[in-house]
Amino acid sequence: MKYALIIIAFCLPAPQLAAETNQKTDQITVELNAAKTHEGSCQLIFMVTNSSAITVMKVVYEAVLFDKNGQVNRLTLFDFGSLPSQRPRVRQFAVPQMTCENLGRVLFNGASTCVGDGLDETLCDNGFLPSSRIDIEVLG
């Protein structure tokens, strides 16, 4: 009888684990991977992965750029283009008249465009997972 209870106890968490795993696969991860100043512009390099089962044909995010003092420098749109399912992509954006040394934070307000055949449009916002590999903070 003790063994039956132990087996049941170990079996109960498995569906929860499977559900958590499924939730984590429907994400668009956006990692700020590098930033470098070039000819008076800050070049931001992002690693983007669409871990959903459906290709995102076009996604555009509204971003707010803050300087090191926390002041809003500008609002802009980052067009990440097409994001194939289960494949990482690298996207680069040049922000004119701003040095990377003066950039303190990038805030993604949300998706202004999110298109794909059979795509749940909430993926681009609800499944959005930002991060940064460098000293510039990224929020979303």
Q: Are strands 56-67 and 41-50 parallel, antiparallel or unpaired?
A: unpaired
**3 domain-assigned:** no
Residue 20 lies in a domain: no
Residue 70 has pLDDT above 80, yes or no: yes
- The pTM for the full model equals 0.80
44 falls within a domain: yes
Does residue 2 lie in a domain region? Answer: no
Number of folded domains in the chain? 1
Residue 93 lies in a domain: yes
How many Cβ atoms are within 10 Å of 63's Cβ, its own excluded?
22
> Which helix (DSSP H) or strand (DSSP E) does residue 84 occupy?
none
Mean pLDDT within 37-50: 96
Model pLDDT for residues 105-134, shown as the tens digit of each residue? 999 999 999 999 999 879 999 999 999 999
Check pLDDT > 70 for residue 62: yes
Range of the domain at 89: 26-139
Query: Under a CB-based contact definition with an 8 Å cutoff, are residues 86 and 27 in contact?
Result: no
Kindly state the average pLDDT of the residues 62-84. 97
- For the chain, give the percent of residues with pLDDT over 90: 79
Give the pLDDT band of residue 24 (cuts 50, 70, 90): low
- Whether 15 shows a pLDDT value over 70: the answer reads no
Question: Looking at the domain assignment, is residue 37 inside a domain?
Answer: yes
CATH assignment at residue 99: 2.60.40.1620
